[in-house]
Amino acid sequence: MRQFTKLDTSLKEKIVRLETDCERLCENARKIYSLKFKSLGQEPVIEMARTIKGRTAPAHQVFTAGYESYIDIGIEDCEEYYPHAYIPIWKCKEELFQKTGYLTMDSVDVICAKIANMADEMYKEIEKKQ
């Protein structure tokens, strides 16, 4: 994660653009892996999450202290959610009376590869158990 202390409009646009790209990646991955996991009777959860102190947050609040965006990867089975991994995208903290942000250094392609690797890993784990 790369640290930012100057939180400006340019950075905000970059973060929102990356989060939007990640949402699309998650949608595509969910479609692809849904079919694969259904053969094992499981439903994959691959979603982009935006939170402020654990509660859902809108994208325009990226510079609010406590804001965090990440890709959540897990399995939903019988109405219960089992987390597997998460990929951090952006985090905004207030440190010593100054807001500081942390942005992933991964490109969209690298994030896509991480999602695929984690989903494949989950699939293999479930397949071994059955």
Q: Kindly report, residue by residue over 67-108, the tens digit of the pLDDT.
A: 999 999 999 887 888 899 999 999 999 988 899 999 999 999
Largest Cα–Cα distance in the chain? Answer: 52
Q: Of 52, 26, 2, which is closest to residue 108 (Cα–Cα)?
A: 26
What pTM, to 2 d.p., does this model score? 0.91
How far apart, in whole angstroms, are the C-alpha atoms of residue 71 and residue 122? 15
The confidence score (pLDDT) of residue 124 equals: 93
Return all residues near 29 (Cβ < 8 A) that are at least 6 apart. Answer: 46, 112, 115, 116, 119
Range of the domain at 17: 2-129
How far apart, in whole angstroms, are the C-alpha atoms of residue 61 and residue 69? 11
Residue 79 φ then ψ, to 5°: 65, 10
The 10s digit of each residue's pLDDT in 25-45 is 999 999 999 999 988 888 999
What domain count does the chain have? 1
